[in-house]
Amino acid sequence: MPLASYEHLQNSILCIDIGLDTNTNFVRWTSPTTNVFPMDIEAARKMAKEKFFLHIEKPNRRMVFIKDRGIIFFIMADVEIQYQMMEAILEECIEQFFNSYGAIYQNFFSGMTNIFEGFKSTMKSNIENAQKNRIKWIQSKCPICQENYYVCVRKTLIENATSFPVSIVFQHGGHGLLIYLDAKFHTRGSEVVEITG
């Protein structure tokens, strides 16, 4: 079962952070054993773009972040957690955050605030809900490794798509496998792609 590989998902999520800029932090949740990396968070806040998930990869941790309505949502995890899973968790956090504070958050766009502290207590259920409701696992065989992989796909990637097939690159072991998915999350083909950048 693919979910078994994320049995310890909670322990692999190192930090979830919500804020605006260097001086304005709304929520900073960290796992009990994690050191916070303020430099990482600051770098992410500067790079973040509205509506697009961006990634930073370090040797021992990876980060995903996105700006939504001016607020930067950030997640850090162990490198074995797939990006699509991390994005799904952020989607859940964004929805829950605006459900709870949508009417008032703009009042806190300047200066420090701890009005959002209570949101920390929702993080465990946000992670759980994302894993249960916001992702699908597909299987794909890589011709280079000759391995069958479980690939995590965010449901909204398919549900919000305007044309099909949707393509996604599963990057692993120093190479990329391009996978085509139809509207039912079925694999319609795959090929090894070259990577640059």
SS3 at position 109: coil
Q: Of residues 10-69, which lie at the interface with Zn ion (CB under 5 A)?
A: none
CB of 174 to Zn ion, least distance (A): 9
CB of 165 to Zn ion, least distance (A): 20
Q: Of residues 77-136, which lie at the interface with Zn ion (CB under 5 A)?
A: none
Q: Which of 44, 53, 50 is nearest to 19 (CA)?
A: 44
Neighbour count for residue 145 (Cβ, 10 Å): 12
Cα 167 to the chain's mean position, in Å? 18
Q: Which of 156, 132, 44, 57 is nearest to 168 (CA)?
A: 156
CB of 168 to Zn ion, least distance (A): 14
- Distance, in Å, from the CA atom of 131 to the CA atom of 88, rounded to the nearest integer, reads 8
Are the C-beta atoms of 181 and 168 separated by less than 8 Å? Answer: yes
Q: Which of 56, 10, 50, 55 is nearest to 34 (CA)?
A: 10
Which x/- pattern, by CB under 5 A, does the window 126-155 give for Zn ion?
Answer: ----------------x-xx----------
Which residue lies nearer to Zn ion by CB, 115 or 144? Answer: 144
CB of 70 to Zn ion, least distance (A): 39
Locate all alpha helices (DSSP H) within the chain, ordered by sequence.
9-12, 38-47, 83-101, 123-133, 155-159
Which residue lies nearer to Zn ion by CB, 6 or 170? Answer: 170
CB of 141 to Zn ion, least distance (A): 9
Which residue lies nearer to Zn ion by CB, 104 or 192? Answer: 192
183 lies in the site for Zn ion, by CB under 5 A: no
Size of the site for Zn ion (CB under 5 A): 3
Which residue lies nearer to Zn ion by CB, 88 or 177? Answer: 177
Which residue lies nearer to Zn ion by CB, 70 or 143? Answer: 143
Cis before 165 (ω within 30): yes
The strand pairing partners of 67, in sequence order, are 50, 72
Using CB positions, name the residue nearest to Zn ion: 142
CB of 89 to Zn ion, least distance (A): 25
Residues lying near Zn ion in the complex (CB under 5 A): 142, 144-145
